Every structure is written in structure tokens, then in C-alpha cells.
């Protein structure tokens, strides 16, 4: 199913459903997710997923389409910069991280009362799943993308095909270990 989605251009909701049904795709330490939970009182602010690991620590995932263009070119400086869509997604995720940290006690309490889930919100990591590496059409684009990605302090950007390759590698290594 992942490979089929990767070769097409599904909506965000299609990816969200796939991830919801297969939380291990994100990371094997995650045990469950909390979809669309409000993290700011008085205003609707809902990340796609709050996920929590085996220790109860929360991270925030924001899912965008795999077809989102990643970079734009600046002729005057001969370099690439984040596309408008990626810039907006990064800003959105930064706000979610801020609200989640600022309102951590009320979020932890509401999850305990409303959903009987005990979590800890301590410096959550923001993960943005967006785009594909074939959008990076030359060495300069790939280099500038890696420079921009590495410069982010609170957010990790994961491309859809990178996630797919990680899963393929995990599957291959799991099969190899079973043979040993």
C-alpha cells in the first residue's frame, strides 16, 4: 500500500489513514497516536498526530502531500530555499511545538481524563513528512536541501520515499536476522 501511494499523488488524509493503521512506519518505539487533539485552549490548533513512545513521551507529526515541491531557486544568490508550502508547514509545526510545550500540563491532564492516556510532554520533537527526493533534480538541489534540513533546530523533515526505503531496509534486515 505504501509503494502504491508513493507512485501516485494521494491526499493528506490517505497518508494519515495509512500511518494511523501502521504506526510502526514512523518509528518502532511509538506505541500509539492521538489524532487531531487540540493543543491550545480557546483556538483550534490540532496537529495531524501526537504520537507517544513506550515511555509515554510525545512527538508531533505533521503530514503533507508527497507531491509538494520542496525548494525554489534564488537566481541572485545562486541557491535554493524552502518552497512556500514547506515554509508554511515548518511554521505550522513550530507553532504546534510551542503550544504543546506551553500547554503541556493541560494537554497531559486532558488526555488522562478524556482518553485514559498518560503521556509526558517534555521538549517534543516535530516531524514533517513531506515531498519526495526525486523533486531534488540535481546535486546542488540535494546539497542545498540537506543544508536547509540540517539547519532546523526543532523539526526533522522526512521525505516519503526516505520513509519507504527505511521500511524496505528494515524488512530486508529482519529477514536476514531470521536466517542467522
Of residues 30 and 156, more confidently modeled: 156
Q: Determine the average pLDDT of the residues in 87-100.
A: 94
- Predicted local confidence at residue 124, as pLDDT: 93
Share of the chain above pLDDT 70, in %: 84
pLDDT greater than 70 at residue 163: yes
Choose the weakest-confidence range: 1-10, 87-96, 157-166.
1-10
Separation CA 123–CA 102 (nearest Å): 10
Share of the chain above pLDDT 90, in %: 49
What contacts 24+ positions apart, CB below 8 Å, involve 35-40?
Answer: 37/107, 37/110, 37/111, 39/96, 39/99, 39/100, 39/103, 39/107, 40/99, 40/102, 40/103
**Measuring CA to CA, how many Å separate 160 from each of 64, 83, 146, 164, 175?**
10, 17, 15, 6, 23
Considering the chain, what is the average pLDDT of its residues?
Answer: 85
- Predicted local confidence at residue 41, as pLDDT: 62
Q: Determine the average pLDDT of the residues in 86-103.
A: 93
- Predicted local confidence at residue 180, as pLDDT: 47
- Predicted local confidence at residue 120, as pLDDT: 93
- Predicted local confidence at residue 2, as pLDDT: 66
- Predicted local confidence at residue 44, as pLDDT: 63
Q: Tell me: the pLDDT tens digits for 22-62? A: 777 777 788 888 866 677 765 566 787 888 999 999 999 89
- Predicted local confidence at residue 33, as pLDDT: 81
Amino acid at each position: 500500500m505504501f509503494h502504491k501511494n508513493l507512485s501516485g499523488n494521494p491526499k493528506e488524509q490517505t497518508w494519515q489513514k495509512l500511518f494511523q493503521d501502521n504506526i510502526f512506519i514512523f518509528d518502532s518505539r511509538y506505541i500509539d497516536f492521538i489524532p487531531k487533539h487540540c493543543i491550545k485552549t480557546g483556538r483550534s490548533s490540532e496537529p495531524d498526530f501526537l504520537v507517544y513512545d513506550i515511555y509515554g513521551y510525545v512527538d508531533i507529526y505533521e503530514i503533507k502531500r508527497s507531491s509538494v515541491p520542496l525548494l525554489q531557486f534564488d537566481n541572485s544568490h545562486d541557491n535554493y530555499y524552502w518552497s512556500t508550502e514547506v515554509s508554511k508547514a515548518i511554521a505550522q509545526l513550530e507553532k504546534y511545538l510551542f503550544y504543546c510545550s506551553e500547554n503541556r500540563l493541560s494537554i497531559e491532564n486532558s488526555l488522562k481524563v478524556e482518553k485514559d492516556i498518560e503521556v509526558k510532554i517534555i521538549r517534543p520533537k516535530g516531524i514533517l513528512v513531506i515531498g519526495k527526493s526525486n523533486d531534488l533534480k540535481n546535486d546542488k538541489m540535494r546539497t542545498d536541501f540537506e543544508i536547509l534540513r540540517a539547519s532546523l533546530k526543532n523539526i526533522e523533515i522526512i521525505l516519503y520515499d526516505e520513509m519507504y526505503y527505511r521500511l524496505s531496509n528494515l524488512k530486508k534486515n529482519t529477514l536476514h536476522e531470521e536466517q542467522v
